[in-house]
Structure 1
Amino acid sequence: MNTTTVKAYGTEAADTPLKEMNIERRELQPHDVEFEVLYCGIYHSDLHQIHNDFGMTAYPIVPGHEIVGRITKIGSDVSDFKVGELAAVGCIVDSCQTCQHCDEGQEQYCDSFPKFSFNSPDKYLEGKMTYGGFSKTYVCEDKYVLHMPAFEDLASAAPLLCAGITVYSPLRYWNAGPGKKVGVLGIGGLGHLAIKIAKAMGAEVTVFTTSPEKVEDAKRLGADNAVLSKDPEQMKAYMGTQDFIIDTVSAKHDVNTYLGILKIEGTLVLVGLPPEPLEVGAFNVVMGRRSFAGSNIGGIKETQEMLDFCYKHNIVAESEIISMQQVNEAFERLEKGDVKYRFVIDMQSLN
């Protein structure tokens, strides 16, 4: 298959900084959409993949899976997109399309495992891996491309492609809305969007954080209540009060403390990815028929629904816009938690 050489930013080893490199994108197939990348969010999983923390990284790697762009070409069989329109790609760029989960629009749970926007085997280029959005252009099959609404702050909407759908999907599944009390555990890239989205859905939102500084910021973000979880007296006041808690923490923590915050038959859902296993005490779920669950991103249809919802309610991430040349510094700061609350790369800087 013919390919096109494209400028990108990536790395060839776990211990070397990202640098400018050239990659190969496939020639346009009949169902493909090509777009110029305008903005790309930086997510914690990009950092994990670069450092091979999951043990599955194939080098060279070009990260980036919160990709927003403007369409430059469409394949001959593409009817739902037009050149010049805004478009976006999130985590998923391929799935089997035949299993029950794909049929139900839950491609993230595909029986054959979905292909991701970077570091997945590329079915079009034998022996190659997919390259992500830290690049000048992106090519993707149309059924995995999203219609990007014209957000006033388009750059800050990029993190919705992963962080946004990661919190939107469980909030929708567990029916966050009027009359429901929703707890948000942790205020970071995921948590700050969970506050905004749950509040827009009509829920009463209570934030639980270990940071006094973030107790103050929670109200600015729209939370009704904010609790310093290191204060036993504050925590005691909220025991048995929440219908649902979304746990966005990716560090080791004691979930048992928060299971007690749930009402009878309440659910705590984990969307963060702590590197070590979490222990759940049997009595903390058995007494009160409480549930400890998990959720992973969302399917393509639901991601489009999320984008439209966030556009309607003017929800975007709190973002720091950086140039491509600042990306290594941004990853160092991300590792230290020094960001409020997301980095987004202005990809025009790659030129």
Structure 2
Amino acid sequence: MHQYKNEFGSTLYPFVPGHEIIGRVKDTGSQVTKYKKGDVVGVGYFINSCGHCPNCKSHEEQFCDNGITPTQNGKLSDGSTTKGGYSSCIVVNENYALRIPDKLETARAAPLLCAGITTYSALRHNQVGTGHKIAILGLGGLGHMAVKFVVSFGADVSVLSSSPLKEESAKALGAHHFINTADQADLKAAIGSFDFIIDTVSTKHDCNVYLRLLKKDGTMIMLGVPPQNPQLAVGLLT
């Protein structure tokens, strides 16, 4: 399969996103060994990669040097595009499908295929855990998963949001603290508080406001993708 590295801003229309998919295997190719017809599997953000570059060989296929084939908005060798989770079926390299255990409720498992692995991977890579003070910026899909993971890892968790109405939801997910970012007094009191900030916001926002909340040598993990690259105050990075 030809690999197509799709760049941000080059959406191939018509386009309906959908990349947290769980379904039953309808059929398999002659060389498939991992799955059989009827198996319940999940499909995440991509369905193939080159398989031979250094990143693919080190099991970091999401960083494929030659470009992954996305589950949706990916261009195939015949000129067609991948249609994602709202299509009637999708063809996937067996290495990019995941077996879903019978005991796992599919509706609850589906978010793990994108928001779940995005946050889990970043947290594990940075070795977040007991003794750390973590702030989660934003309580959408990524933020929701991040809170649940970090709480389970034993860290002290705060949710940062400009919407006071989200405090109840944040606490229900296990967050220990809530900081209203629209309240300047709350922000000032939190300066220099956190070892890590997980930024899940995908809309335009001033990252410098939140960099001030990190401790010395703290880490901001950017997981949201704003429409414009943030302007960072270099002095806050020293």
TM-score (norm 1): 0.63
- Aligned counterpart, 2:165: 213
SS at match of 2:73: coil
2:145 is paired with a residue whose SS is: helix
Kept in 2: contact 1:151–1:157 (CA 8 A): no
Instruction: Give the share of equivalent positions with the same residue, in percent.
Output: 44
- How far apart, in 2, do the equivalents of 1:156 and 1:235 lie? 34
Which of residues 92, 114, 119 is equivalent to 1:167? 119
Corresponding position: 1:235 with 2:183: no
- Secondary structure of the 1:206 match is strand
Give the Cα–Cα distance (whole angstroms) in 2 for the partners of residues 148 and 200 of structure 1.
Answer: 22
Pick which of 90-99 and 70-79 moved more.
70-79
Shift, 1:257, TM fit: 1.3
Question: 1:151 & 1:121 partners in 2: Cα distance?
Answer: 35
Identify if the C-alpha distance between structure 1 residues 90 and 245 changes in structure 2 by more than 3 Å, giving closer, same or farther. Answer: same
Listed one character per residue, the Cα deviations across residues 79-100 of structure 1 (whole Å, up to 9, x for unaligned) are 2223322101111111111111
- Aligned equivalents of 1:121, 1:77: Cα separation in 2: 23
Q: Is the 8 A contact 1:246 1:269 kept in 2?
A: yes
Shift of the alpha carbon at 1:129?
A: 1.6
Indicate the residue corresponding to 1:112 in structure 2: 66
Distance 1:58 1:147, change over 3 A: same
Q: Which string of whole-angstrom CA distances, capped at 9 and with x for unpartnered residues, describes residues 105-158 of structure 1?
A: 1111111111101221213xx122222110222221101111123355321321
Q: Which residue of 2 aligns with 1:195?
A: 147
From 52, 56, 64, the equivalent of 2:18 is: 64
Partners of 1:152 and 1:172 lie apart in 2 by: 22
Q: Aligned residue pairs: how many?
A: 233
> Which of 36, 43, 46 is residue 92 of structure 1 equivalent to?
46
State how far apart, in whole Å, the 1-side matches of 2:14 and 2:191 are. 49
- Structure 1 gaps, min length 5: 1-25, 27-52, 287-351
Extract unaligned runs of 5+ from structure 2: 2-6
In the alignment, which residue of structure 1 is the partner of 2:4? none
TM-score by length of 2: 0.91
Secondary structure in 1 matching 2:25: strand
Question: Stretches of 4+ moved more than 6 A in 1?
Answer: none
Provide the rounded CA distance (Å) in 1 between the counterparts of 2:51 and 2:39: 26
Correspondences of 1:244-263 after superposition (within 5 Å): 244-263=196-215
